[in-house]
Structure 1
Amino acid sequence: MVNFQANYFEQIKTALPTYQNLAQSIAEVLSISINEAYKKIKGSSLLNINQIVKLSDHFGVPFLYKPEQLPTVTFDYLSVDQETPNMLLYLQDLLKNLKQIQSGTKKHITITTDDIPLFHFFKYPELTCFKLFFWSDSAMNSETKFDPSSFDEQIISLSKELNQIYLEIPCTEIWAKDTVHGTIEQIRYAFEAGYIDKGLAIQIIEQVRYCLTDMNMYAISSKKTIDPDHSFNWYNCDVLGSISYLVDHKGSMSCYNRFNTFNYLKTDDQSYCEQTKHWMQGLIKKSVSFSGQGEKHRNKFLYNSFAECDNLIREINIP
């Protein structure tokens, strides 16, 4: 029990802002002395079930027990209703998680993906709104036309904030060879189905090009801003198997697995995260680097991606 309790307090500590004292926070939530709080943290005084419930509810950190003989992993699940998706709630949850990551002195995100990571889209309002619109089954299964002006201004504001915060977090991105293709096909489908008109379709394609130009700039300098701490490593791999985000934060790891387009499962199980990290490191060994000196391969990838954008613009412009 002591080891489980120590691990639990480590998880709570990770969830706290850096300026907040763990013992003082525990004492306030449990209505105990600072001295008793330290005993709880060190394991010399055990938590009771009521105290565990209070801590879990207050900090949003569940106390998890896993019998050693059972190879189980517990995931948190953010469900965005496919019928009536609340994109504002979705973005607010993303922002909460990203701010928590940003607050650590040591942090890093590793991504494997066959779609352009959504944080890059968020710099561009029309592209952001289009992706959110396309991901909404209810919109794409109705007669609703895409109208960027119908989106709440708070969505645009949150998106830009998410993009800015992501730029300040060191990361490694591993893209599949067809990572850009999916977005191009979504724009083609929406145009051919009548959800967007010619002018708007071309504007969104141009914003995809701007997004790729940003990627090129990050890769050339191996950082996303002028701050060298905001490092960026970009790889291309042909053998990706899933869209995963591995967060290394304050000495522990969390893993986010995307599914059903934009929903995701999150786990803080360190064994699972360690296996995911090992898998990602293996992918990097099989990958081609686009960062720094990887100019030849990066230029070829971008040339093909820009060509896809240009081909779609030509198709759209055909009378």
Structure 2
Amino acid sequence: MNEQANFFERIKQTLPSYQNLAQSVADILGISINEAYKKIRGTSLLNINQITKLSDGFSIPFQYQPSQLPTVTFNYVSHSDQAEHMTEYLKEMLATMKQIQKSKQKHITVTSDDVPIFHFFKYPTLTAFKLFYWANNPSMQQFDFEKLPSSILDIALELHQVYLEIPSTEIWAKDTIHGTIEQIRYSFEAGHIGNKADAVAIVEQLRYCLTDISMYAIGSKKTIDNTHSFNWYHCDVLGGITYMVDLEQSMLCYNRFNTYNYLKTEDQTFCLQTKEWIKGLINKSMAFSGQGEKHRNKYLYQAFAECDKLIDEINKA
């Protein structure tokens, strides 16, 4: 019974305020409003077929874990590097982000040794390069911005905008920016970026991206809306790339691996342990947002200097 109540609570969190839960359940199951209320209250149990229909209709998995087994269930999300699959991958990501955005209470916490991907998506050439580099496809030896479908860039830009409107906390490592700079340097030196102008444009857009993040940090918010808060921290050592989502009554956890595939779980015990781990990281971290001007400026100055050095190397090559 408790699992059924939790299931409906998670469904409720994904619905916009104007959408009635009972009516939505009744429509999907083909039952009366009265019977839908009974299901939601738990006085009438869902059968397997109804659980499946609701899971498919709301894109919310029903989870059951035997109490005696300390196991965690993950969903594995991956894709191929073909353009049509990349488009579907980004569409699924956008649908997930919009679900989070619609929740009454939400917050995303990111721990990462690479700049969180949503920041890149504002800049088309930088986005195209990161997708090219991540694909790691032997048949794609040469970076060509013109080959990236405009539909992918449109979805990426929308993902960026949605992320701006979700309160977030980001914990970066010492080399978070350095990783992308080295990817650009390697790709240029290896001949994967054959055009100097493209290489310079990628680095310049990375600079613009960092400037944006600096502005978010100064105001501790990503837009003019104070509810779109932004907390930025620096920690010397991170244990992995994690996206932690806090909702009103539940949490989600995404662990990235193999570049940008990820494992997703809604196991609340696992999520709570991850949240406690993140709290420990924050306690050992240096704040960059708000009053952390001195340390933030030093960190960004070094990053900008690395960008300038790489642009100089490209122009002299």
Scaled by the length of structure 1, the TM-score of the pair is: 0.95
The answer on whether the counterparts of 2:15 and 2:102 sit within 8 Å (CA) in structure 1 is: no
Q: How far apart are 1:82 and its partner, in Å?
A: 5.0
Give the secondary structure class of the aligned counterpart of 1:17.
Answer: coil
Question: Cα distance, 1:15 vs. partner?
Answer: 2.9
Paired residue for 2:77? 78
Deviations 1:78-112 (A, max 9, x none): 21125777221111111101111111222111100
1:284 match: secondary structure: helix
In structure 2, runs of 5+ residues without a counterpart are none
Q: How many residues align?
A: 316
Match of 2:95 in 1: 96
Q: Distance in 2 between matches of 1:276 and 1:81?
A: 29
Letter in 1 for 2:303: S
CA displacement at 1:61 relative to structure 2: 2.0
Give the 3-state SS of the residue equivalent to 1:180 in structure 2. helix
Q: Which residue is equivalent to 1:11? A: 10
Tell me how far apart the structure 2 counterparts of residues 85 and 194 of structure 1 sit (CA, whole Å). 26
Aligned identity (percent) is: 65
Q: Is the 8 A contact 2:9 2:249 kept in 1?
A: no
Match of 1:303?
301
Determine the C-alpha separation between the residues in 1 that align with 2:141 and 2:244.
Answer: 36
Once the two structures are superposed, residues 160-195 of structure 1 have per-residue CA deviations (whole angstroms, 9 ceiling, x without a partner) of: 111111111111000001000110111011101111
Cross-structure match for 1:27:
26
User: Which residue in 2 is equivalent to 1:317?
Assistant: 315
CA shift in 2, pair 1:254/1:230, >3 Å: same
CA RMSD of aligned residues (A): 1.5
Matched, 1:235 2:233: yes
Are 1:172 and 1:232, in contact at CA under 8 Å, matched by a contact in 2?
yes
2:163 maps to what in 1? 166
Structure 1 CA distance, aligned partners of 2:154 and 2:253? 26
TM-score (norm 2): 0.96
| CA distance 1:143–1:76, shift in 2 (3 Å) | closer
Aligned-partner residue type, residue 236 of structure 1: H
Opposite residue 191 of structure 2, the aligned amino acid is G
Q: How far is the alpha carbon of 1:249 from its aligned partner? A: 2.0
Q: What secondary structure sits across from 1:94 in the alignment?
A: helix
